[in-house]
Amino acid sequence: MTPPAKEHGALIEALTCVLACHDLPEPLPKDPMPLLLEWFEDARQSERYDDFNAMTLATATPDGFPSARMVLCKAIEPTTPAIVFYTSYASRKGRELEANPRAAAVFHWPHAKRQARIEGPVQRTAPEESDAYFRTRPLLSRIGASVSPQSRAIGSRQAIIAEAMRIAASKALGMGPDRPVDWGGYRIMAQRVELWSAGNGRLHDRAEWLRQDTSWTARRLGA
Ligand SMILES: Cc1cc2nc3c(=O)[nH]c(=O)nc-3n(C[C@H](O)[C@H](O)[C@H](O)COP(=O)(O)O)c2cc1C
């Protein structure tokens, strides 16, 4: 059964609008990283988020059991190309990454109806780089990282906080604790990037880039 002429006209109008309202450039850029950085900066500038840089990070054990949690992306590096986050190397994610150095990350920016996915092998950041970032963290966060064994069983939260209090009150506190040796950064080396932008009628705007050696191949994907 064909739809009534009025409904048919509205459908054509809606589809014409979907066609006109695209977020991804046509043709696709060769390299997705500048566009990813642009979307990241757009989310920052929107001032719509407490943590515009929050992303879901997926890791997996060597035998393929996945796990996921939120972390904060501290850098998008178009030329490396990579994204960077910081954590405890002794945490569950850290242990999984040490045993199986591959990760996937997802950003969701609802203000722009955008999703970005980045996948690839991971590498630890250099110790000096982790030191430099650790020094920029608030004193309380540095004390917290020093006293709380991330992802490990603890006797009581009170005992951890008491230890943080003891350090905070200590005359030897000086400039604050040094970076714990098992705390630092990881770089996800971008090997696959997907940018997704919502379109009406489930006709989303979606593209994937795969990197081999030093060059990217781009293709549009059905949504
Ligand atoms: C918005 C948000 C941001 C977070 N950022 C970080 C982060 O940058 N690094 C980190 O180690 N944990 C971060 N966390 C805590 C993690 O989600 C997680 O609880 C912790 O890292 C332990 O995860 P694991 O046991 O899987 O290793 C964040 C949590 C939220 C909700």
What is the Å distance from ligand 1's center to 28 Cα?
Answer: 33
pTM beyond 0.75, yes or no: yes
**Cα gap 107→51, rounded to integer Å:** 11
Confidence class for position 126, pLDDT limits 50, 70, 90: very high
Domains of the chain, first to last: 22-126+182-220 (2.30.110.10)
Give the model's pLDDT for residue 2: 67
Shortest-distance Cα residue to atom 31 of ligand 1: 70
What is the dihedral angle through the alpha carbons of 186, 71, 87, 159, rounded to the nearest 10 degrees? -170
DSSP secondary structure string, 54-118?
A: EEEEEEE-TT--EEEEEEEEEEEETTTTEEEEEEETTSHHHHHHHHS-EEEEEEEEGGGTEEEEE
Per-residue pLDDT of 103-113, as tens digits, reads 999 999 999 99
Shortest-distance Cα residue to atom 4 of ligand 1: 71
User: What residues are in contact with ligand 1 under a 6 Å CB criterion?
Assistant: 51, 54, 67, 69-72, 85-88, 91-93, 150-151
Task: State yes or no: pLDDT of 1 exceeds 70.
Answer: no
Select from 51, 57, 59, 72 the residue to mutate for testing ligand 1; criterion: most ligand atoms less than 8 Å from CB: 72
Atom of ligand 1 nearest to the CA of 95: 27
Shortest-distance Cα residue to atom 28 of ligand 1: 71
Atom of ligand 1 nearest to the CA of 150: 22
Contact 171, 182 (CB under 8 A): no
**Cα gap 138→8, rounded to integer Å:** 59
Atom of ligand 1 nearest to the CA of 91: 27
Give the model's pLDDT for residue 190: 98
Could you give the angle at which helices 139-147 and 157-169 cross, rounded to 10 degrees? 130
| Rounded (5°) CA angle 42-44-45 | 65
**Cα gap 46→43, rounded to integer Å:** 5
Task: State yes or no: pLDDT of 189 exceeds 80.
Answer: yes
Shortest-distance Cα residue to atom 14 of ligand 1: 71
Shortest-distance Cα residue to atom 12 of ligand 1: 71
Atom of ligand 1 nearest to the CA of 151: 25
Q: Residue 204 — φ and ψ, nearest 5°? A: -70, 165
Shortest-distance Cα residue to atom 29 of ligand 1: 70
Residues 157-171: what's their mean pLDDT?
92
Name the range with the highest mean pLDDT among 17-21, 153-157, 199-203: 153-157
Give the model's pLDDT for residue 140: 94
| Rounded (5°) CA angle 196-54-83 | 75
Contact 209, 120 (CB under 8 A): no
Give the model's pLDDT for residue 172: 74
Task: State yes or no: pLDDT of 18 exceeds 80.
Answer: no
Q: Tell me the H-state helices in 137-193.
A: 139-147, 157-169
What is the Å distance from ligand 1's center to 59 Cα?
Answer: 13
* The pairing of beta strand 192-197 with beta strand 114-124: antiparallel
